[in-house]
Amino acid sequence: MRGLVIKNTGSWYQVKTEDGRLVECKIKGNFRLKGIRSTNPIAVGDNVHIIINQEGTAFISEIEDRKNYIIRRASNLSKQSHILAANLDQCLLVVTVNYPETSTTFIDRFLASAEAYQVPVKLVFNKVDAYDEDELRYLDGLINLYTYIGYPCFKVSAINGEGIEEVRKSMEGKITLFSGHSGVGKSTLINALVPGLELRTAEISAYHKKGMHTTTFSEMFPVPGNGYIIDTPGIKGFGTFDMKDEEVSHYFREIFQISDKCKYNNCTHRQEPGCAVRDAVEQHLISESRYNSYLNILEDKEEGKYRSAY
Ligand SMILES: Nc1nc2c(ncn2[C@@H]2O[C@H](COP(=O)(O)OP(=O)(O)OP(=O)(O)O)[C@@H](O)[C@H]2O)c(=O)[nH]1
Ligand SMILES: [Zn+2]
């Protein structure tokens, strides 16, 4: 029988079967996954096949290929990683232009990592009820920019409900990860989207604070319309990853698009002659803030800071 893993306690998995049952499963045998040395072979979001025994116990017999997954290294020095979640359909990055301010550098770094992990991102600009005219104008500028690049944007207030319905619709049938700085309103937003869910996530938080199973526990919560939210504490973004200088621009869509017009095909778009990207920035075809974020990642990479930035 086919099912979706929605909870991983470290010792057993809760699987939602295709016919709608919730079944507690153990793993049988050794799962070896291509290319990953992981502390857990199965994660929430995995599509699995289970076998239910006559006495009512069940085990996972097969895991289907993943379209993506996010990991956390067991420790800085370790090559082993923990798979936090698999098969994410999207990430909603909650940002605020004020209270607190989310910088474009942060947004762009996040978007670049998401590109690397092949997880589509939508930007949710929260707290629109609290902004003055200047802040709203700046916000609209950002929305124009990111919509143009290809990231859908929402303008919402988790407190007064503005724009919430559109976000709710965009979560239907999808596995969604919420991310964003502390204080941007993720919990408030999730509670506005799915009333009653907050209580359950608070329980999980308390459980985590006790220090139990912190590295192995994860859970997805069903949302109306057949979707799921991943809101496990500790999963606030993507892990670190290594990339070559000339790869960084692959994760900036609009920069990558233009880069094949650069004179050198290993152009890093800094000082090289005949760089089409720098030309585009000068002609305001590529936003300066995006280009600066791009340079910023390159610089941090050189100083070895990028890995610890997340
Ligand atoms: N004015 C206004 N305040 C909001 C809105 N959404 C959340 N807040 C407030 O912002 C503060 C932080 O909200 P939280 O939901 O706790 O933020 P969070 O992102 O979950 O924060 P962490 O748990 O630290 O990651 C609270 O005081 C909320 O009441 C909004 O739409 N408008
Ligand atoms: Zn170039």
Q: What does DSSP assign to residue 276?
A: H
Q: Whose CA is nearest to atom 8 of ligand 1?
A: 185
- Which CATH number goes with the domain that contains 305? 1.10.40.50
Q: Is 185 in the pocket of ligand 1 (CB under 6 A)?
A: yes
Instruction: Give the ligand with the smallest distance to the CA of 193.
Output: 1
Instruction: Give the pLDDT confidence score for residue 95 in this predicted structure.
Output: 96
Q: Is 187 in the pocket of ligand 1 (CB under 6 A)?
A: yes
- Which CATH number goes with the domain that contains 21? 2.40.50.140
Instruction: Give the pLDDT confidence score for residue 199 in this predicted structure.
Output: 56
Q: Decide: 38 and 27 in contact? Cβ < 8 Å.
A: no
- What stretch of H or E contains 27? strand 22-27
Total length of the chain: 310
pTM of the entire predicted model: 0.88
Q: Which residues contact 233 (CB under 8 A, 6 or more apart)?
A: 201, 204, 205, 208
Phi then psi dihedrals of residue 20, to 5 deg: 90, 5
Does residue 96 sit in the same domain as residue 221?
A: yes
Kindly give the pairing relationship between strand 69-73 and strand 58-63: unpaired
Q: Of 43, 74, 105, which residue constitutes the final position of a domain?
A: 74
Does residue 118 sit in the same domain as residue 94?
A: yes
Instruction: Give the ligand with the smallest distance to the CA of 246.
Output: 2
Rg over CA atoms, the chain:
21
Angle at 255 between CA 254 and CA 256, to 5 degrees: 90
CA 257–ligand 2 middle distance (angstroms) = 11
How many domains is the chain built from? 3
Q: Is 45 annotated as a binding residue?
A: no
Q: Is 269 annotated as a binding residue?
A: yes
**Residue 148: is it exposed, middle or buried by C-beta count within 10 angstroms (0-12/13-18/19+)?**
exposed
Q: Decide: 46 and 88 in contact? Cβ < 8 Å.
A: no
Does residue 225 sit in the same domain as residue 93?
A: yes
Q: Is 127 in the pocket of ligand 1 (CB under 6 A)?
A: yes
Q: Is 159 in the pocket of ligand 1 (CB under 6 A)?
A: yes
Does residue 18 sit in the same domain as residue 152?
A: no
Instruction: Give the pLDDT confidence score for residue 207 in this predicted structure.
Output: 57
Q: Whose CA is nearest to atom 23 of ligand 1?
A: 182
Q: Is 65 annotated as a binding residue?
A: no
Q: Is 227 annotated as a binding residue?
A: no
Q: Is 250 annotated as a binding residue?
A: no
Does residue 12 sit in the same domain as residue 115?
A: no
DSSP readout, 45-90? Answer: T-EEEEEE-TTS-EEEEEEPPPS-EEEEESSSS-S-EEEEEE---E
Does residue 201 sit in the same domain as residue 266?
A: no
Does residue 190 sit in the same domain as residue 289?
A: no
Q: Decide: 141 and 112 in contact? Cβ < 8 Å.
A: no
Parent domain of 52: 2-74
Q: Is 114 in the pocket of ligand 1 (CB under 6 A)?
A: no
Instruction: Give the pLDDT confidence score for residue 218 in this predicted structure.
Output: 81
Q: Of 230, 259, 276, which residue constitutes the final position of a domain?
A: 230
Q: How far is CA 189 from CA 157, 201, 231, in A?
A: 8, 13, 12
Q: Is 102 in the pocket of ligand 1 (CB under 6 A)?
A: no
Residue 235 domain-assigned? no
Q: What pLDDT tens digit does each residue of the chain (310 aa) get?
A: 999 999 998 889 999 999 999 999 998 766 655 555 666 788 999 999 999 988 878 999 989 999 998 877 665 566 677 788 899 999 999 999 999 999 999 999 999 989 988 999 999 999 999 999 999 999 999 999 999 999 999 999 999 999 999 999 999 999 999 988 889 999 899 999 998 776 555 565 665 555 444 456 788 999 989 999 986 555 556 655 667 788 899 999 999 999 999 999 999 999 999 999 999 999 999 999 999 999 999 888 777 654 443 3
Q: Is 130 in the pocket of ligand 1 (CB under 6 A)?
A: yes
Q: Whose CA is nearest to atom 32 of ligand 1?
A: 127
Which residue, among 77, 5, 66, has the nearest Cα to 36 in the 3D structure?
Answer: 66
Q: Which residues contact 13 (CB under 8 A, 6 or more apart)?
A: 5, 7, 24, 25, 26, 27, 42, 48, 60
